[in-house]
Amino acid sequence: MNEEKTGLQAKLTPRLARLEELAYNFWWSWHRASRDLFKQLDLQLWATTRHNPIRILLETPSENIQRLTSDPLFLRDLDAVLMELDKDVKNGRPWYVQQHPDLQQHTIAYFSAEFGLHTSLPIYSGGLGVLSGDHIKEASDLGLPFVAIGFLYEQGYFRQRFDASGWQEAIYPPLNLAEAALRPARCAEGEGECLFTLRIGDRDVLLKVWETHVGRTRLYLMDANVEQNAPWDRQLTARLYGGDQEMRLQQEIILGIGGVKILRALGYNPRVWHINEGHAAFLCLERAREYVAQGLSFAEAQGRIRAGAVFTTHTPVPAGHDTFDFGLMEKYFYPFWPQLGMSREEFLGLGNHNDAFNMTKLALLLSGRANGVSAIHGAVSRKMWVNLWDNVTEETVPIQHVTNGVHLPSWTGEAMHRLYRKHISPDWVKHQDDPLMWARIEDMPEEELWQAHVAMKRKMLSIIRERARDARIQQATPPDQLLASGIFLDPDALVIGFARRFATYKRAYLIFNDIERLKRLIHDRYRPVQFLFAGKAHPADDPGKMLLQYIYNIARNPEFGGRIAFVEDYDMHVSRYLVQGVDVWLNTPRKPNEASGTSGMKAAFNGVLNLSIMDGWWAEAYNGRNGWSIDAGAEYEDTNWQDGADANALYHILEEQVVPLYYQRDRDDVPRGWVAMMKEAIRTIGPQFSTRRMVKEYTENYYVPALKETLALEKS
Ligand SMILES: *Cc1c(COP(=O)(O)O)cnc(C)c1O
């Protein structure tokens, strides 16, 4: 037993002892009743710890614990939650068990460089991580025999601040391990913590493995920050995508090769291996080494590896795919290729693409099943990789698509959840991908839907004000920065949200294309438009940081009157409130660079209307009645020209459609036309763009076929 554990156990009364188990399983985060338990422990701490149950348990006064131990209502709620937890995590017959009772004992392993489960574990940097987090939550809900592996970054997602010139500063507060839902993993054999030696090039690096529970699934996180390692090796897993190419190569060796070895040491024997983005593709090489060690030739091994491997690519931009110089590859892999029975040339050929070692190529050649993350992205990927194969045309490139989704129970606002329970079904979460059930939204009273939306909007604005107030107290924020923070936003006026990573292809600048036209929109006396921005630029992305500076300086410029705001430090916590609280979710990527996008799905399911370029998921979701498409009518080679045309289309649609519809109210002050659109968005987008639909698709079209093929090969 480690110290934190005894500490908490000593504090909790026996009757409340299982609160600890609850706090250490992220299951709590997507179940209302368990969130409410932690709120009841201490509402103030709930807010100040940004919803961290472990900190709440550690910091809540013992009197609270004593009081609740004899509070029959609390105990009743606790028992109900624990019964639900046991049903979901241990007992129960979830979907997968019903569909595939004969396949339950075969593990599906999921490898990803980042996981966004909750703000309290900041080991993600954006969409890819949040998707991985949502994927494993759903795998738990559906009952897949699932295990995931990634990194414990002790300086994970950075905190964002702006200096006096509006330049982004990145702060890396180290993760306090005692306050995160992590425990040292135990190896299948031997005593004590799972410490693991991995050969990286010419040296041995020790890896510590942490375990976290996500419903019925486990996520294992590798950590090189152990005393026995050299100081430079302790940095290997400090940050996401940190350092240079060599650091990155070593991280990917840890993820792919270390990941396989560690799963073995933990006692897993996965039959399906899901490579989530090229970062994890080295897992194929380790699997090859295992087969060759058993006496197979590399060619035979390749057949086995391909049968069980599923690869998801996420990047439509060629430069976004990881590549390594041959020199670097040689430095780290020269002892490796003889173990595969290969020559240097044969080995480097596995990834050789334009004279560098390309991780996507490696993954594509060694995975029997591959997919992009939206229909458009699937087509773009087929075009991008057609040259990898002989005798293949663009149509027959073996890359399909599974459009991304979001984990609805995690992203649905409180007010909306209550409304769905009341008017759709008390069991809506269970039947969330049933379109027929959602047809019931037609009968939902419009006033109620509107009021729920207004309540979430007010909640968001009050959170923004509280953050601004705290910053003012703690750092004496200067007045112009306060103005930029959103405290002037009017809850009765239209709010358009734009929150995402500040990569330049996302074109956050588009709305500023014609400043005078923009000013007319925001300063309209009776029908003002407000904009709320949030997002971080990668610390090494100077163009992204310049764009941030540009927008931040507009936000604090008095000419815009506080109607353009910038919320600092975008993360999953901020994102939750924004996707639930704005009126419109704006997305303006340069086509076809948005592989899928998922924040708009979160918004739609909360009744927030999308206004977006027809790219990624939106090209599949938009039906003419459930939001708006920004369509310039033509595509241009010249990107400046395209920006101008898209900006023009955007202003036009705001002036002619969005603003009039929002402000068209009946006698009860309800915008009936707007609410009709909200209903259409929820009905059409909720069931379709959920991880429920997505993970079922992965299961039936990828995991189960891969599993069956693998089992057949094992018998042959
Ligand atoms: C959902 C989410 C994303 C992904 O959003 P995109 O639509 O891909 O930009 C990124 N970051 C956070 C914090 C999120 O919650």
- CATH number where 246 lies: 3.40.50.2000
536 lines ligand 1 (CB under 6 A): no
Q: Are residues 165 and 192 in the same domain?
A: yes
Q: Are residues 366 and 482 in the same domain?
A: no
H helix or E strand, kind and range, residue 309: strand 309-312
Q: Retrieve residue 57's tokens.
A: 């348990």
Asked if 54 and 120 count as a contact pair (C-beta separation under 8 A), the reply is: yes
Asked if 504 and 588 count as a contact pair (C-beta separation under 8 A), the reply is: no
Which comes out higher in pLDDT, residue 242 or 676?
Answer: 676
Q: Are residues 349 and 395 in the same domain?
A: yes
Asked if 274 and 109 count as a contact pair (C-beta separation under 8 A), the reply is: yes
The Cα–Cα gap between 190 and 597 comes to 44
597 lines ligand 1 (CB under 6 A): yes
CA 596 to ligand 1: nearest atom: 8
Q: Are residues 53 and 110 in the same domain?
A: no
Q: Give the strand order in the sheet containing 352-353.
A: 323-324, 356-358, 352-353
Q: Are residues 497 and 566 in the same domain?
A: yes
Query: 95-109: per-residue pLDDT in tens?
Result: 999 999 999 999 999
- The pLDDT of residue 506 is above 60: yes
The Cα–Cα gap between 488 and 530 comes to 10
Please tell me the residue having the least CA distance from ligand 1 atom 4. Answer: 127
- The pLDDT of residue 699 is above 70: yes
CA 438 to chain centre: 25
**Domain final position from 89, 108, 135:** 89
Q: Are residues 294 and 418 in the same domain?
A: no
- The pLDDT of residue 664 is above 90: yes
Cis peptide upstream of residue 592 (ω within 30 degrees of 0): yes
CA 458 to chain centre: 25
The Cα–Cα gap between 108 and 141 comes to 15
- What number of CA atoms fall less than 13 Å from residue 629's CA on the CB side? 16
DSSP H helical segments within 485-630, as ranges?
A: 515-522, 542-555, 572-581, 599-605, 618-621
Q: Are residues 246 and 304 in the same domain?
A: yes
Query: 114-172: per-residue pLDDT in tens?
Result: 999 999 999 999 999 999 999 999 999 999 999 999 999 999 889 999 999 999 999 99
The Cα–Cα gap between 344 and 699 comes to 37
The Cα–Cα gap between 548 and 498 comes to 12
Centre of ligand 1 from the C-alpha of residue 377, in Å = 17
Centre of ligand 1 from the C-alpha of residue 622, in Å = 19
Please tell me the residue having the least CA distance from ligand 1 atom 11. Answer: 126
Query: 180-209: per-residue pLDDT in tens?
Result: 999 999 887 777 778 899 999 999 999 999
Q: Are residues 175 and 259 in the same domain?
A: yes
Q: Retrieve residue 32's tokens.
A: 């209302």
Collapsed DSSP state (helix, strand, coil) of residue 501: coil
- The pLDDT of residue 71 is above 90: yes
Global model pTM greater than 0.85: yes
Asked if 701 and 409 count as a contact pair (C-beta separation under 8 A), the reply is: no
- Per cent of the chain over pLDDT 70 is 99
- What number of CA atoms fall less than 13 Å from residue 101's CA on the CB side? 3
CB-based burial label for 439 (10 Å; 0-12, 13-18, 19+): exposed
691 lines ligand 1 (CB under 6 A): no
Q: How many residues does the chain have?
A: 716
Q: What angle do helix axes 446-475 and 572-581 make, rounded to 10 degrees?
A: 140
The Cα–Cα gap between 337 and 278 comes to 20
CA 373 to chain centre: 13
pLDDT tier, 6 (very low <50, low <70, confident <90, very high otherwise): low
DSSP lists the bridge partners of residue 169 as 161
The Cα–Cα gap between 369 and 348 comes to 22
Q: Cα–Cα distances in Å, from 221 out to 4, 115, 218, 556, 610?
A: 19, 10, 10, 41, 35
Domain carrying residue 198: 95-404+696-715
Q: Cα–Cα distances in Å, from 26 out to 91, 219, 291?
A: 18, 11, 36
Q: Retrieve residue 510's tokens.
A: 């588009």
DSSP lists the bridge partners of residue 275 as 111, 311
pLDDT for the residue 382 = 98
**Domain final position from 58, 89, 120:** 89
Query: 525-549: per-residue pLDDT in tens?
Result: 999 999 999 999 999 999 999 999 9
Q: Are residues 415 and 466 in the same domain?
A: yes
Q: Are residues 635 and 707 in the same domain?
A: no
pLDDT for the residue 3 = 44
Residues 325, 326, 330, CA angle at the centre, nearest 5°? Answer: 125
Q: How many domains does the chain have?
A: 3
Centre of ligand 1 from the C-alpha of residue 690, in Å = 14
The mean per-residue pLDDT over the stretch 255-277 comes to 97
Centre of ligand 1 from the C-alpha of residue 271, in Å = 31
Count of beta carbons in the 10 Å neighbourhood of residue 482: 17
Please tell me the residue having the least CA distance from ligand 1 atom 1. Answer: 599
CA 127 to ligand 1: nearest atom: 4
Q: Are residues 182 and 281 in the same domain?
A: yes
Nearest residue to 410 via CA among 573, 224, 220, 522: 573
pLDDT tier, 9 (very low <50, low <70, confident <90, very high otherwise): confident
pLDDT for the residue 631 = 87
CA distance from start to end of the chain: 45
The Cα–Cα gap between 534 and 168 comes to 12
Query: 557-570: per-residue pLDDT in tens?
Result: 999 999 999 999 99
pLDDT averaged over the chain? 95
The Cα–Cα gap between 92 and 632 comes to 51
Collapsed DSSP state (helix, strand, coil) of residue 532: strand
Q: Retrieve residue 150's tokens.
A: 């990634």
pLDDT for the residue 156 = 86
Name residues whose C-beta falls within 8 Å of residue 454's C-beta, 6 or more positions apart in sequence.
Answer: 491
The Cα–Cα gap between 449 and 417 comes to 11
CA 600 to ligand 1: nearest atom: 7
- The pLDDT of residue 479 is above 80: yes
- Per cent of the chain over pLDDT 90 is 93
The Cα–Cα gap between 88 and 97 comes to 12
Q: Retrieve residue 5's tokens.
A: 């554990």
- The pLDDT of residue 663 is above 80: yes
The Cα–Cα gap between 677 and 608 comes to 9
CA 68 to chain centre: 35
Count of beta carbons in the 10 Å neighbourhood of residue 676: 15
Centre of ligand 1 from the C-alpha of residue 457, in Å = 19
589 lines ligand 1 (CB under 6 A): no
Q: Are residues 463 and 380 in the same domain?
A: no
Residues 466, 470, 471, CA angle at the centre, nearest 5°? Answer: 115
CB-based burial label for 83 (10 Å; 0-12, 13-18, 19+): exposed
Centre of ligand 1 from the C-alpha of residue 232, in Å = 32
- The pLDDT of residue 327 is above 70: yes
- What number of CA atoms fall less than 13 Å from residue 672's CA on the CB side? 4
454 residue type, one letter: V
The Cα–Cα gap between 591 and 316 comes to 10
